[in-house]
Structure 1
C-alpha cells in the first residue's frame, strides 16, 4: 500500500502547468524577436552556435526534476508488513441523493455541496467505524464499499456530483436496498444508514424498504436537505449557472424539502429525522445516536510498518538537475557538421 507522509506537498505539482505556460510565453516572445531579424536560415548564419532545440530539452529535464522533488518532499511510503487487528466499531453507510434538485441553493452553496462538506467532517471524526457510500437519483450505485480507509472515503466523496448517475429521479427505496446488499449482514457489527436527501419526487416505496432494513437489524437515520419553502433548481453549463429549470408551463421549478416523507422513513427505520441548516448539518445529532449503538469487534487487516521511498525521488531529481546543467544551450559545431547520411562521390 502506498501513502504519503506529507501529502500536502503534492500541491506543488500544480506549479508544473504554470511553468509550462510561462515557458511557452517566453519561447513565443523569443521567436518573434528572432523573426524580426530575418528568416530562421538567415538568423542561423548570424548566430550559428545557438541551438533552438536544446532549451526545450533542458526544460523537460527541469520539469521532471521538479516533479521528482515534489514527490520526494511528500515522502511516499510503502507498506511492508500487514497485521490483523481486532477493532471495535460500527458499520455506517451514507445514502446520498445526487438528483438535480440537490443543486438548489437554499443551503449554501447548494444542498449537495453542503451535504458533502458535512460528510467530510463526519469522516474526520470517525475512529474505528467503517463507512460506505451509496449514491442515488433515479437509480442507486455503490460509490464506496464498506471500508476502514477514511482517506479513500474522502477521495471518493470529492468526486460525487449530480452527473455521476445518468438517470434522474429519487429512488430512495432502491438506495436502501443497495445499502443492505453492501452491508456484511453476517458480521456482528452494529449497522446504520444515514439517508441525506431532499425527498422530492421519490419514486418507490422507501418506507417499506426502511422496514425491511429494520427487520435485518439496520437503523436508518434521515437528514433532510433543503427548506419547506424551497428554491429554484439551477442549470449549469461548463460549470457556470445559465438559468433555472422550467416546468411545462414555462414557470421556474421550485424544489421543496419533503419533511413528511423523511420522518416516515426515519420512523420505519427506527432512526431519527433531522433537518439540516447552514448552521447545523444534523450529522452531530445522528452520530450521537450511532455512538449509543452497541459496538462490536471485527477483524481488520492493516499495514503496520511503512518504509520511506523519498530518497529515490530526491536522487532522481539531483541526477536530472546535473544533466540539465551540463546540457549547453549552444550547438556543438564539430558534431553539427557531421552528416552520417551524406553520400560522397568517388
Structure 2
C-alpha cells in the first residue's frame, strides 16, 4: 500500500493527545460521581453505565479519527491484473464492384453502403491488426496490401466512386483466389510472425455470383482454416442495375441493364450463396441493412471471435480512500448509538 498525500499522515500524531484528553475526561467524570456517594446506588436510579462502555466509545472515536487521517492521505493498493492479449488479425476485405452493387435500393447505394461498413471496421481497428482490400467483378485486383494504416483504403474509395462505367460480372471465386495468394505472400515473407496471426476474410456483396468458379478456392480456404464472414447488401424488392453514370457512383444514371425487349432488369439481394460460404468456413452471415446489424458484425468479427494469444500481468493502483472513510463513518455511527 502507498499514500499519494503523505502530508496528511501527520494527523495521526494528534491521536495520542485525543486519547489523553479522553482519559482525563473519564477520570474527571468518575471523580464527580464519587462525590455523590456509592456509585452502585446511583446506577439503579440513573443512567450511569459501566466505565468500559465509555472507553469503548472512545476507542471507536479514535479509530474514526485514524481512518479519516489515512483516508485523507489517499491510500492506494498495488494489485496485479491479468489482461488478455488478443491474437493479431489480418483482415482482407473482398468488395464486390459489379454493376449490381451500384443499385440504389440502399442509401446511397449498395457499394456506398459497403464502403461505410468498411469505414466502421477501420474506425474500430485494433493497433496490432492489419487490413487489406481486394475489389472484384468478373476479375479481381488487390487495391491495398496488408497495412496497419488502413486509412490508405479510403483513398481507393475515391477511385471506385469516380467510375462512370462499372465492369460487368461477379466472380467470388476470383476474389478468394487473389486473397489466398495475398495471404501466401505474407506467410512467405515472415512465416514465424504469420503463424502468430489469424486471417479473416470479409466478403461484402449482394450475392449475385455468376461465374460458378467458387468451389475450388473455397475448398482451399477451408483447408487453410480461414473464416469468411459475409455481409449481404441489397433488398428483397431490389433495384435497377446502372451500367453507365454521369459523375461516378452518386451521379445521374445514363443507362440501365435491360433485358431483350428493353425492360430494365431488377437486381435483388441473394443470400443463399453468402450464407453457404460463411457456414462452410466457420464464419457468419450478416445483413448490412442497418447500423445495428453492422455494429453486431464488427463486434463479432473484431472482438468476440478473436482468440487470445496469452495474458499480460500489469501493476494497477486501486484507490482505497473510500473504504477508509466508510470505516470512519461506521465507527462514528456505532459510537453514537452505543
Deviation at 1:217, TM superposition (A): 2.2
1:89 aligns with: 88
Q: Distance in 1 between matches of 2:296 and 2:181?
A: 26
Does structure 2 retain, via aligned residues, the 8 Å contact 1:90–1:296? no
Q: TM-score, normalised by structure 1?
A: 0.56
1:66 aligns with: none
Deviation at 1:270, TM superposition (A): 1.4
Does structure 2 retain, via aligned residues, the 8 Å contact 1:195–1:222? yes
Distance 1:165 1:245, change over 3 A: closer
Is 1:224 aligned with 2:236? no
Is 1:293 aligned with 2:306? yes
Deviation at 1:255, TM superposition (A): 0.6
Does structure 1 retain, via aligned residues, the 8 Å contact 2:103–2:239? yes
Which protein has the bigger helix share? Answer: 2
Counterpart selection for 2:258 from 242, 246, 249: 246
Within a 5 Å distance, the mapping from 1:325-336 to structure 2 comes to: none
Deviates more, 1:167-176 or 1:200-209: 200-209
Distance 1:286 1:270, change over 3 A: farther
3-state secondary structure, aligned to 1:262? helix
Q: How far does the alpha carbon of each residue in 1:298-320 deviate from its partner, in whole angstroms, 9 at most, with x for none? A: xxxxxxxxxxxxxxxxxxxxxxx
Distance 1:219 1:87, change over 3 A: closer
Q: How far does the alpha carbon of each residue in 1:166-219 deviate from its partner, in whole angstroms, 9 at most, with x for none? A: 742001011011111111243121010000001114313324422311211211
Task: Let me know the Cα RMSD of the aligned residues.
Answer: 2.5
Q: Distance in 2 between matches of 1:287 and 1:208?
A: 30
Which structure has the greater CA radius of gyration? Answer: 2
Consecutive unaligned residues of structure 2, counting only runs of 5 or more, are 1-84, 311-338
2:245 aligns with: 236
3-state secondary structure, aligned to 1:156? helix
Does structure 1 retain, via aligned residues, the 8 Å contact 2:86–2:308? no
2:144 aligns with: 144
Q: How far does the alpha carbon of each residue in 1:94-147 deviate from its partner, in whole angstroms, 9 at most, with x for none? A: 000000100111111100001101111210110121000000001000010011
Within a 5 Å distance, the mapping from 1:28-47 to structure 2 comes to: none
Q: TM-score, normalised by structure 2?
A: 0.57
Deviation at 1:283, TM superposition (A): 5.5
2:203 aligns with: 195
Does structure 2 retain, via aligned residues, the 8 Å contact 1:206–1:265? no
Deviation at 1:279, TM superposition (A): 3.9
1:158 aligns with: 158
Does structure 2 retain, via aligned residues, the 8 Å contact 1:98–1:165? no
Consecutive unaligned residues of structure 1, counting only runs of 5 or more, are 1-85, 298-346
Distance 1:166 1:276, change over 3 A: closer
Distance 1:236 1:165, change over 3 A: closer
Deviation at 1:289, TM superposition (A): 3.3
Is 1:264 aligned with 2:276? yes
1:205 aligns with: 213
Is 1:131 aligned with 2:131? yes
Q: Distance in 2 between matches of 1:138 and 1:165?
A: 14
Deviation at 1:237, TM superposition (A): 2.5
3-state secondary structure, aligned to 1:282? helix
Q: Distance in 2 between matches of 1:164 and 1:222?
A: 27
Does structure 2 retain, via aligned residues, the 8 Å contact 1:107–1:278? no
3-state secondary structure, aligned to 1:257? coil
Q: Distance in 1 between matches of 2:282 and 2:297?
A: 15
3-state secondary structure, aligned to 1:274? strand
Q: Distance in 2 between matches of 1:192 and 1:114?
A: 21
Is 1:116 aligned with 2:115? yes
Count of aligned pairs between the two proteins: 212
Does structure 2 retain, via aligned residues, the 8 Å contact 1:98–1:135? yes
Does structure 1 retain, via aligned residues, the 8 Å contact 2:99–2:167? no
